[in-house]
Amino acid sequence: MATKALCIGINDYPGTDNDLSGCVNDANDWAEELDRRGFTVSQLLDRDAKRAAMVKAIGALIDGAVKGDTLVITYSGHGTWVPDSSGDEPDGRDEALCPYDLVSKGALIDDDIHELFARRAAGVRIILISDSCHSGSVTRGLETDLDPDLPRVRFMPPQAWMKGTLPPPLLSTVAPRSGFSRAGGDLLLAGCQDHEYSWDTRFHGRPNGAFTYYALKTLREVKPTTYQKWFDAIRTYLPSTRLPQSPQILSSRKPRSYKIFK
């Protein structure tokens, strides 16, 4: 049984005036944690995380896996949306990840990720961890580690990178669902709901994503044994007053009881 991971972190978004600060740290932190747990880890950071490179790296990871393997993909960067053209989205929007060359090559939408994940062999386990925007608000949680200045959202407005007039999404009376639920992996841990933002901020003087910071903090300090217990521990911190994001866990019942990264 092999354990492999791909950690993607993008701070720099040329041509958008929407650069971030904590995403590369996030990717390095995930890589360090997964390496410590015996994973073979590859990374795509900033200019190396172009759209074609992301598709190639995710595809290679999945195509090379066999029954019994566990794959972990982490993404820290901007999230965005595009109008759904296929009619498969209740809210009329395809959620998307933003590669480094977003302006010239476009976003990596959830349909693209679904197609990549569908190539996996039977018995291959895929965990996707996305610290990017889809977005919202509640007031609770602990903030003792958070630096006092305001954080920045990890949402890339479509108007910041799409040329011309943005067409409206398809009309729907269905409430937005949590992003990337169609991706096809066993389990998704996401920084927030579709209608919320994930926050790019700083803890003890070091930039990080809020979700990544608390996910790793609870993993190391609480030492949860399953994904559900890990998620419950993260929710003691998020959402909070200054970090109004509601982390999501999406899977069928069984994967929530899996041992973490096994």
> Annotated catalytic residue: which of 78, 98, 134, 192?
78
What are the structural domain ranges in the chain?
A: 3-256
Strands 152-153 and 199-203: antiparallel
What's at 150, amino acid-wise? L
Asked about 78 being catalytic, the answer comes back as yes
To 10 degrees, the CA torsion angle through 231, 142, 18, 178?
A: 30
Beta bridge partners of 206: 203
Side by side, the strands of the sheet bearing 40-45 are: 40-45, 3-9, 70-76, 125-131, 187-190, 248-250
Over the chain (262 residues), the average pLDDT of each successive run of 10 is 96 94 97 98 98 97 96 94 61 80 92 90 94 46 50 64 54 37 73 85 94 97 97 95 89 93 94
Asked about 7 being catalytic, the answer comes back as no
Burial of 77-115, coded b for 16+ CB within 10 Å and e otherwise, reads bbbbbbebeeeebebbbbbbbbbbbbbeebbbbbbbbbe
- Rg of the chain, C-alpha, whole Å: 17
pLDDT for 147 equals 52
CA atoms of 87 and 90, how far apart (whole Å): 8
> Annotated catalytic residue: which of 7, 23, 98, 133?
133
Tell me the fold of 3-256.
Answer: Rossmann fold (3.40.50)
pLDDT for 172 equals 37
pLDDT for 146 equals 52
